[in-house]
Every structure is written in structure tokens, then in C-alpha cells.
Amino acid sequence: MNSPLDSVVLLQIGPVPITHAVVTTWAIMAVLVLGAFLMTRRLDLRPGKPQAALELLVSTLDTQIRETTGAEPAPYRGFIGTLFLFILVANWSSLLPGIDPPTARLETDAALAALVFLSVIWFGVRSGGVGGYLKSFAAPNPVMIPLNMLESVTRVFSMFVRLFGNVMSGVFVIGIVASLAGLLVPIPLMALDLLTGLVQAYIFAVLAMVFITSAVNEGAHSPEVPASSPSEKDQ
Amino acid sequence: MDYPAIASIFCAAFAVAFGALGPALAEGRAVAAAMDAIARQPEAANTISRTLFVGLAMIETTAIYCLVIALLLLFANPLLA
């Protein structure tokens, strides 16, 4: 059986090996970008069906961001929405025969988590300045500086392992059941996988939003805590 | 006999078995508490179930960590390399 931790090198461009997951990622990116471009090319005040669906999606995202952070969604909509949509499409791409979801590989999830790590710094610095962001490490008191620095890395790492583990275990279990029992038996498991994929995409986006909000709030020294956010401390 | 290999297979099985115990109990408690809350306050069902899903995924993560450790033992074992 193939190890779920290795990645299959598909082709080589110069010195850079291109793995299977990277090619799938490119395909998903192309589909998302082209789809977004085609659907927003002719926007109308009286929306047709595709535009109505798109508006529903965007307004749902906005509502979720507003409920999680208590802030206006505009600066975060692009990043969080893209994260959510990409992970969702990537998780569900396992439904197409012959395609492994790229989120079931270590490198894709590591890249997504690194993006979240950088965006926390970016939004934190943008709201409170470099000094404000650095000072947020010394809250509630300077003894916590090493712990806060450690936490900012470990919480992102835990996001990465969570997404990888959940998607990979789904693919792995389906593979085992299909090899043991036969062709049509894993269908209920695949249905469960759809739910897991949706929930994991949602959680990744919500956690990214919560981390960004905490950096923004601490940097700006406004102690208000968002009302309905899940716990910021992540285990 | 190849003792490191046998030991790592046993350890992988134990990691998954005992690592699943805690999260299973915790998820049961979380769902029970959420059911209780929804029964008392059905109008808050949306918020409760959203928070429940996020919480369940967090709890489940501990089991997933054990699974990742087990897979590391089976497929990327540093002792057998």
C-alpha cells in the first residue's frame, strides 16, 4: 500500500519536482479563477440564477465572518473566502474518480497553514503597527512572551495537522474498504467524507479568522471579545 | 526476529485504540450537552449546532493526532529506516 505521507512525483520541470497534488491544485485554481471570472463578467441588478447563487455564497461568507469576529467583513472576505472555497473544492475533488484531494497531502496543508501564519502577522501589523503587534506578544504580561511566541506557531501547526489528518484518513479508509470489500461498499463512507470535507473547510476558515481577529484586537488594544467565536485557545 | 518492526506495529495499534477513547467520551458529552441546550432553547439551535460542529472537530483532532502518529510508525518509522 502506498504511504499516505509520501507524495508521488509526476513530472520534473527543471530541478523542481512537480507532484500529483500540485497538478491537482493547479487544476482547482484554474477552475475557481475561471469560474469566478465567467460568473462575474456580466453582473446585473436583476440577478440571473448563477449570479443569485454567487451572491448567496458571498453574503453567507459575510454573515459568518461578521458573526465570528464582530468586525466588518470587507478586509477579510477575499482571503478567508478563498481559503474556504479552495479547501472545500479540494476536499470534494476526491469524488471525481482517479483524483486524490490535494489536501490529503502534507505539502498543500503546510502551504495553507503558512499562508494563515503570514496573514496573521500581516493583519496584526496593519491594524496596530509593528510595535502594536509585537506588544501583543507581551500580553497579559511579559513573562508570557516565550509562550505566546510558541503558541503562534503551534496553533498554526495544529491547524495543518488537523486538515491533513482528517482528509487523509477519509481517503485512506475509503481505499482500505474498497480494497477489502468491493466497488460499491464505500459509498456511505464517501457521503460521510463530504460532510467531513465541508466541516473541515469551515473550521479552517473560522480558525484563521479567529487568529486574525485576536491579532488585530490585541494589537489595537481594544479588549472587546467577539460574542460567538469559538475558543481561541486551540487545545 | 525483527523486534523494532513488531514493537512499532503494536504501538501503532495501541496509539489508535487508546487515543480514540478520550475523544469518544468527550464527543459524547459535547453532543449530550448540545442536545440539552437545544431542548431548553430551540431558538438558539443554529448557533449551538455551529459551535458544536467546530468543537467536535477540535475534539476529534486529538484522535487524528494519534492516527497520524500511528501512520508515522507504520510508514515513516525512523527506527526502521
Confidence of residue A114 (pLDDT cuts 50, 70, 90): very high
Cβ pair A105, A22 in contact under 8 A: no
Does the pLDDT value for residue A222 go beyond 70? no
Q: Which residues of chain B have a CB within 8 Å of the CB of A162?
A: 57, 61, 64
Does the pLDDT value for residue A234 go beyond 60? no
C-alpha cell, A186: 464505500
The proportion of chain A whose per-residue pLDDT surpasses 90, expressed as a percent, equals: 19
Q: Which residues of chain A have a CB within 8 Å of the CB of B54?
A: 202-203, 206, 230
Q: What pLDDT, on the 0 to 100 scale, is given for residue A1?
A: 54
Confidence of residue A2 (pLDDT cuts 50, 70, 90): low
Cβ pair A13, A97 in contact under 8 A: no
- Mean pLDDT taken over chain A: 83
Does the pLDDT value for residue A83 go beyond 50? yes
Pairing relation of β-strands A9-13 and A16-19? antiparallel
What is the pLDDT averaged over residues A197-223?
81
Confidence of residue A221 (pLDDT cuts 50, 70, 90): low
A220 Ramachandran zone, left/alpha/beta (phi>0; psi -120 to 50):
alpha
What is the pLDDT averaged over residues A50-63?
88
Question: Is A230 in contact with B55 (Cβ distance < 8 A)?
Answer: yes
Question: Is B71 in contact with A5 (Cβ distance < 8 A)?
Answer: yes
A162 to chain B, any CB pair closer than 8 A? The answer is yes
Does the pLDDT value for residue B36 go beyond 60? yes
> How far does A126 lie from chain B, in Å, by closest CA?
28
Is the link from the previous residue into A140 a cis peptide, with omega within 30 of 0? yes
Dump strand ranges (E) for chain A. 9-13, 16-19
Dump strand ranges (E) for B1-81. none
Confidence of residue A235 (pLDDT cuts 50, 70, 90): very low
Task: With CA atoms as reference, report the closest residue to B52 among A184, A57, A164, A199.
Answer: A199
Confidence of residue A117 (pLDDT cuts 50, 70, 90): very high
* Of A224 and A213, more confident: A213
Integer Cα distance of A4 and A145 in angstroms: 37
Question: Is A165 in contact with B67 (Cβ distance < 8 A)?
Answer: yes
Integer Cα distance of A10 and A101 in angstroms: 15
The radius of gyration of chain B from alpha carbons, rounded to an integer in Å, stands at: 18
Integer Cα distance of A145 and A123 in angstroms: 20
Query: How many helices (H) and strands (E) are present in chain A, helices listed first?
Result: 6, 2
Query: pTM, whole model, 2 decimals?
Result: 0.82
**pLDDT tens track for A146-194:** 888 888 888 888 888 889 988 988 888 888 888 888 788 888 888 888 9
